[in-house]
Structure 1
Amino acid sequence: MLSALDDRTLNSTQEGHLGGLLQGATYIAGISGGSWTLMSLILSDFMPLVKLRHEWDMFEPLLEGIPNLAQIEVSRADIQVLPAGLHEAGEDFYQKLNNIDKRDQSEDYFEGFAYDDVFEAFYSSLELLSDLDADEDENYIGNDSNGSESQDQGEVTEAVAEVVIIGPDVEEDPVYLEGILAEHSDNISLEELLKQAEPADALQKRAEEQIWAESVKTFFKDVFKKKEEPKVTAQNILPGIQFSKNLSLKNMRKIFSFYKSLHLEVCSKKAAGYPVSFTDYWGRALSRRVFPKNSRSPNITFSGITNLTSFSQYQQPFPIIISNLREPGLEKTSVNSSLFEFTPYEFGSFNFSMFCDLRYLGTLLNEGEPLFHINNRSICHRNFDNAGFITGTSSSLFNNVLIYVWQLAASSSKQKSQAIRAVLNTFGLTSSQNSDDPKKHPDYALYSPNPFFHYGDPTNKELYLSKNLYMVDGGEDGQNIPYQPFMQAARQVDVILSIDSTADIKGWPNGTIIQNTYLRYNATGHSGTTVTVNGMIKSINLFPDIPDPEEFVDKGLNKRPVFFGCHLEKYHHRDELPKARGVNSFLPPIIGYFGNTEYSYPSNTSTFKLTYGNEEINKLMENAYNIVTTGNSTTDEDYPRCVGCILIKREFDRKARSMSILNDMEIPDFCNQCYSRYCYN
């Protein structure tokens, strides 16, 4: 849909089209799957969408070995605790993997990263099944589509976290403090911490040697070695998945090589002392498939885009990525959820009115100040804001893939499902929960340490008291469209153009998502704004009235462009009296809504369809183009001019309240006709 608004798209500026609106936008936000396109766009230095799509590897699955899945209707609550009978059949096996950390240290196992329970169990699970076909070439080393093994090795060393010392008249000098964050101890002294410090070159070299010596040894030992055991097939290893008949075990090695490469890339974060989660791996997988080819290495940060030409010269809209804060064990709704946003400069939430410098996310802070200092110089960490990790945080679809695997485990036989169950156990899907231990919640994106620890309002316990922040998919609270960032007075947004690709009914949206945001702003506790309506001061909601899904579908609002909130007098008036006799200069933005619909092609593909052919991509893009332009204005030749009328409606509203410089202008009759045609209320 963005290509329809991009004036660099062929013919997009001709009569009946909307090319140029993207260039005229001040902000652009992405949430869940939408964050993929947004991050790819900004990392490409604002490359034209029609060109950028050729940078995506959509012919390869996002996750090697995972098939295209239908929509999954299982919630996180359904899988957080394994059923009691799930591990009864193999108690010894289950118990062995449930106590990985308690193994005899004399055993020859993954010594360098013994704390990495997830992959330790993964490799062990493969051993407990049968190893790969003994007839295959034992010296085979798989390559993914992203490049050679040597390229992966180089990327790992570039991603080692950096620590900088900041103080008066001091440049940011890199120092590496291994394990500081892993300790999280209130008792360790500064002297003891400084003893852990090593010169950058020494630690980097040691980390590199440790990662490769142990990772490669373990991987080839547990995955690629020969064994005199019965042959197995891909179908044996993952029962229930319909593999292609020509999937050879050599291709299976390619799959394992893909995950090995992800693992090696994530290891540098682990070596720096940070806990890792599924989202780290998911983020690396996304980077390999949907990021521009020159932006796929682990050292690409979100804050780094400020150095791009298109950003520094204001040629691209200001990007915002949305995620949700989630306290383990507590369910949140669209009304009371806590939304966080990432921008190239900050990470934080308007819900709490707190933000921190994105460059130093990952720094151990207390009461808003760095906990460690050297000669009055603060010790801060950098490079935590990995672009893939942030994208993965907003779109934690990996968690839903695990739901699919959980379903397989629940329905498989004892012998075939033991490994799946064991791996799920290491992923935190067990009967025991501990909100203080980030290892117990690896299905969340872990932001540890919490930059807002002991900062702000003490009554906000999930933020004030928690040493870790648990972030989830930005749409998990039922708000798949990121409206909140643009409802802030400081941003002075007049119009929001939103795209709804939610699968509410048979893969199509029905307005539930936009109504959820309306209910949020209509609820007690969410502030409104004060405006004049017919000469009287009124307190109104920030979000316009939205019909319920039944009316939404009956009126066909999900199948054509519609704009909500054009007329301020139609907003919901609050019962409360205005706190001040004055009015706010900020007028709530008009909401433009474009629902995914079949205009020229059935675009209701599953969220979990992970591969697309070139012809299908072309048809999907053409359909989206037609949705935004109503088929190049074939249904209404006045449509582009009507959109223009809506874009300047708020300026006319300000003029009517003597807040505009356009005091000599009146709303044209043509625009009033457009408002009647395209504005819901």
Structure 2
Amino acid sequence: MHFPGFTIACLSFIASTLAVPHGHMLVKRYMPREGDCSYKKIVRKATTGINADEAEYIMNRQNVTVQVWKDYLERLALDNFDVTKFLEDTSKIPSVGIAISGGGYRAMLTGGGAYKAFDNRFDESKDAKTGGIVQLADYFSGVSGGSWLTTSMASNDFADIETLVRDVFKMPLSIFTPFDTTWENAKYYARMAGEIAAKRWAGFPISLTDFWGRMMSKHLLADDGLHVTFSSIAETNSWKNHAIPYVISVGEGVPNGFKPSALFPTNSTIYEFTVDEMGSWDDNIGSFSSMKYLGTEVDEDGHATGKCVTGLDNAGFVTGTSSAMIGAVIFGKLNMSNIPFVGQYLSNLNMESLMDESNWKLSAFPNVFKGFNKEQNSVAEDKTINMVDGATSGLNLPIWPLMNPNRNVDVIIAVDSSSDINDYPDGTAMVAAYNRSKVDRKNGRRMPKVPDTVTFLNNGLTTKPVFFGCNEPESVLIVYLPNSAYSFDSNINTMNTTTYSNEVTASMVQNGFNVATMGNNKIDENWSVCLGCALIYKGIERLGWEQTETCKSCFGRYCWVGQMNTAMADIPV
């Protein structure tokens, strides 16, 4: 895109904005703030289990979901299955998680279609007998593009996908130049410049993700997301009423001094972002910080040493962190001479240095774990924590947090929109999680066995649903839903397409709906029943019941039974 009318006045406007004083209203709304917090406990060790507020939320949510389970199972009308008895002992009701993969807009919209299929607010979803799964699920995790969906949904008070597409996403608008005129786009960048510069003035590190997160906020959050924090999701009515699954976004840590030209470590630290906390279960960190007070300095016991920081958990910054690599690649492709104010903006904030090999920072957080848990914490002496896209090491499905033994999730519905071959998945994300589980048995011991990618391709496991973990009592059951062209060629490349027409957006969402429903049960008229069989599987085990004949038939069709098929695959190009 070229802007021949760009003038010196535009650049002057940007430059002047960089000098906006701290008191400017918009600047203050993005800039983290400090306030009294009376020696508040901010950081804890992971060995204490899941956060107390998370545990309370899940307990209250499970009280809410019993009726949803009843309605869902009665719609399924399983043969020889007593719904009332199944739900009688609420402690035996299965815990369900939904995971939406990375993959930019492709993942967001495909995942959005699956979200619609599982949402009982749509008659067509109830007619497909898949509606209600979102309402009964305990957890909803997203990484990279998947986190765009989960964060937007949660921040907008559990908005359904049609509301998000109509009122929030702004898919036809460019991420980089959302306005029609050069002047309006220049003002847009100038506002961001002031917001981010104020964060630096306040003493906090800035990084490429401040830029990227602010831009994505315009497409994901209400009022451009300036005042929306991740912890403020707890203030929505849906959260207060426990009507929404517990939301988790994922990022990955990189060592200070890491160079992007190096091979990214497959054992990188996995960080979680929830409404309540940010931190990692991994042994090299083993700590969590309050999300609301993220950035607060603590003593060796985890108590605030002075004033508490608030506002650092800006929702755009958090979801931008989860998708930081997408931002870096797209920025790298920009022709700055065609969008001159982008180059000027980066220059004024000294952003180019943060993309330099010797000072590479995609997403920088003040180290909330500095000085804490020194015997275990590998970043205890570092000033900042540097993070990247949560899918960078290959973990493009955010199933790892849901498999954590502390959460006791029984079944995970994993929607995979990875771009492995021709921008469709080939199972790489599942293989990456399995390989990690063999090394990290403490956190990954509930990962079921999966085949290699050659078997995925040879056996057609990338074009239909697959159940992993059947007959593995200690493992979570994973319902794998790979993106495939049911009704639309949904393999749109993330890096080359940053705008979607309304027609393409609708087609992507519809295809995602078909991925989750197998073409509205047209490919397999019993698919919705089979999906239900997967959801109740662990509950039936706990009750000591035998599977119904219908469910046995379903598992015979959809379970991967452990056989490999490693002949040379006919790989599409």
TM-score by length of 2: 0.72
Partner Cα separation in structure 2 for residue 336 and residue 444 of structure 1: 19
- Does the alignment pair 1:651 with 2:568? no
Partner Cα separation in structure 2 for residue 260 and residue 557 of structure 1: 48
**Contact 2:225–2:316 (Cα < 8 Å) also in 1:** no
Partner Cα separation in structure 2 for residue 12 and residue 279 of structure 1: 36
**Contact 2:405–2:443 (Cα < 8 Å) also in 1:** no
**For residue 518 of structure 1, what is the aligned residue in structure 2?**
434
Partner Cα separation in structure 2 for residue 287 and residue 59 of structure 1: 15
Q: Give 1:251 shift.
A: 3.0
**For residue 226 of structure 2, what is the aligned residue in structure 1?**
298
- Cα distance change, pair 321–680 in 1 and its aligned pair in 2 (3 A): same
- Cα distance change, pair 297–422 in 1 and its aligned pair in 2 (3 A): closer
**For residue 122 of structure 2, what is the aligned residue in structure 1?**
9
Q: Give 1:403 shift.
A: 2.8
**For residue 556 of structure 2, what is the aligned residue in structure 1?**
676
Could you list the per-position Cα deviations for residues 217-240 of structure 1 after superposition, in whole angstroms to 9, with x for gaps in the alignment?
xxxxxxxxxxxxxxxxxxxxxxxx
Q: Give 1:277 shift.
A: 1.2
User: What are the residue-to-residue correspondences of 1:313-392 with 2, within 5 Å?
Assistant: 313-330=241-258, 335-351=266-282, 352-370=285-303, 372-373=305-306, 379-392=307-320
Q: Which has the higher contact order (CA 8 A, sep 6+)?
A: 2
SS of equivalent residue, structure 1 residue 594: strand
Q: Give 1:253 shift.
A: 3.2
**For residue 150 of structure 1, what is the aligned residue in structure 2?**
none
Partner Cα separation in structure 1 for residue 256 and residue 407 of structure 2: 32
Partner Cα separation in structure 1 for residue 529 and residue 157 of structure 2: 30
Letter in 2 for 1:527: K
- Does the alignment pair 1:23 with 2:135? yes
**For residue 50 of structure 1, what is the aligned residue in structure 2?**
162
User: What are the residue-to-residue correspondences of 1:77-92 with 2, within 5 Å?
Assistant: none
Could you list the per-position Cα deviations for residues 359-398 of structure 1 after superposition, in whole angstroms to 9, with x for gaps in the alignment?
111112232445644xxxxx21111111111011111122
Partner Cα separation in structure 1 for residue 268 and residue 466 of structure 2: 27
Partner Cα separation in structure 2 for residue 590 and residue 344 of structure 1: 26
Could you list the per-position Cα deviations for residues 393-418 of structure 1 after superposition, in whole angstroms to 9, with x for gaps in the alignment?
1111221123324xx69xx9xxxxx9
Partner Cα separation in structure 2 for residue 283 and residue 431 of structure 1: 20
- Cα distance change, pair 600–353 in 1 and its aligned pair in 2 (3 A): same
Partner Cα separation in structure 2 for residue 270 and residue 515 of structure 1: 40
SS of equivalent residue, structure 2 residue 242: coil
TM-score by length of 1: 0.61
- Cα distance change, pair 429–307 in 1 and its aligned pair in 2 (3 A): closer
Partner Cα separation in structure 1 for residue 547 and residue 301 of structure 2: 49
Q: Give 1:424 shift.
A: 11
**Contact 1:332–1:477 (Cα < 8 Å) also in 2:** no
- Cα distance change, pair 27–671 in 1 and its aligned pair in 2 (3 A): same
- Cα distance change, pair 489–419 in 1 and its aligned pair in 2 (3 A): closer
Could you list the per-position Cα deviations for residues 597-617 of structure 1 after superposition, in whole angstroms to 9, with x for gaps in the alignment?
111100111112111111111
Partner Cα separation in structure 2 for residue 286 and residue 422 of structure 1: 20
Letter in 1 for 2:116: S
**For residue 59 of structure 1, what is the aligned residue in structure 2?**
172
**For residue 208 of structure 2, what is the aligned residue in structure 1?**
278
Q: Give 1:460 shift.
A: 4.0
- Cα distance change, pair 619–380 in 1 and its aligned pair in 2 (3 A): same
Partner Cα separation in structure 2 for residue 280 and residue 431 of structure 1: 16
Could you list the per-position Cα deviations for residues 340-368 of structure 1 after superposition, in whole angstroms to 9, with x for gaps in the alignment?
00111111111133111111111122324
User: What are the residue-to-residue correspondences of 1:129-168 with 2, within 5 Å?
Assistant: none
Letter in 2 for 1:671: C
SS of equivalent residue, structure 2 residue 289: strand
- Cα distance change, pair 485–567 in 1 and its aligned pair in 2 (3 A): same
**Contact 1:32–1:474 (Cα < 8 Å) also in 2:** yes
Letter in 1 for 2:269: S
- Cα distance change, pair 597–279 in 1 and its aligned pair in 2 (3 A): same
**For residue 147 of structure 2, what is the aligned residue in structure 1?**
35
**Contact 2:197–2:349 (Cα < 8 Å) also in 1:** no
Partner Cα separation in structure 1 for residue 280 and residue 118 of structure 2: 29
Letter in 1 for 2:216: L
- Cα distance change, pair 432–596 in 1 and its aligned pair in 2 (3 A): closer
**Contact 1:365–1:451 (Cα < 8 Å) also in 2:** yes
- Cα distance change, pair 501–528 in 1 and its aligned pair in 2 (3 A): closer
Structure 1 unaligned spans of 5+: 65-143, 146-249, 374-378, 413-417, 434-439, 530-540, 570-586, 655-661
**Contact 1:370–1:380 (Cα < 8 Å) also in 2:** no
**Contact 1:31–1:481 (Cα < 8 Å) also in 2:** yes
**Number of residues paired by the alignment?**
436
Partner Cα separation in structure 2 for residue 315 and residue 459 of structure 1: 37
Could you list the per-position Cα deviations for residues 88-139 of structure 1 after superposition, in whole angstroms to 9, with x for gaps in the alignment?
xxxxxxxxxxxxxxxxxxxxxxxxxxxxxxxxxxxxxxxxxxxxxxxxxxxx
Q: Give 1:431 shift.
A: 7.0
Letter in 2 for 1:676: G
SS of equivalent residue, structure 1 residue 11: helix
Of the three residues 313, 334, 353, the one matched with 1:428 is 353
**For residue 86 of structure 1, what is the aligned residue in structure 2?**
none
- Does the alignment pair 1:545 with 2:449? yes
User: What are the residue-to-residue correspondences of 1:230-269 with 2, within 5 Å?
Assistant: 251-269=181-199
Letter in 2 for 1:254: E
Partner Cα separation in structure 2 for residue 589 and residue 268 of structure 1: 45
**Contact 2:208–2:354 (Cα < 8 Å) also in 1:** no
- Cα distance change, pair 420–44 in 1 and its aligned pair in 2 (3 A): closer
Q: Give 1:275 shift.
A: 1.8
Q: Give 1:258 shift.
A: 2.1
- Does the alignment pair 1:402 with 2:331? yes
**For residue 490 of structure 1, what is the aligned residue in structure 2?**
406
Could you list the per-position Cα deviations for residues 614-663 of structure 1 after superposition, in whole angstroms to 9, with x for gaps in the alignment?
11111111111111100111122111111111111112333xxxxxxx24
Partner Cα separation in structure 1 for residue 481 and residue 391 of structure 2: 17
- Does the alignment pair 1:600 with 2:504? no
**Contact 1:17–1:632 (Cα < 8 Å) also in 2:** no
Partner Cα separation in structure 2 for residue 554 and residue 421 of structure 1: 47
Partner Cα separation in structure 2 for residue 559 and residue 647 of structure 1: 21
Partner Cα separation in structure 2 for residue 382 and residue 425 of structure 1: 25
- Cα distance change, pair 290–13 in 1 and its aligned pair in 2 (3 A): same
Partner Cα separation in structure 2 for residue 359 and residue 423 of structure 1: 30
Structure 2 unaligned spans of 5+: 1-113, 338-342, 562-573
- Cα distance change, pair 465–342 in 1 and its aligned pair in 2 (3 A): same
Of the three residues 386, 408, 418, the one matched with 1:502 is 418
- Does the alignment pair 1:288 with 2:218? yes
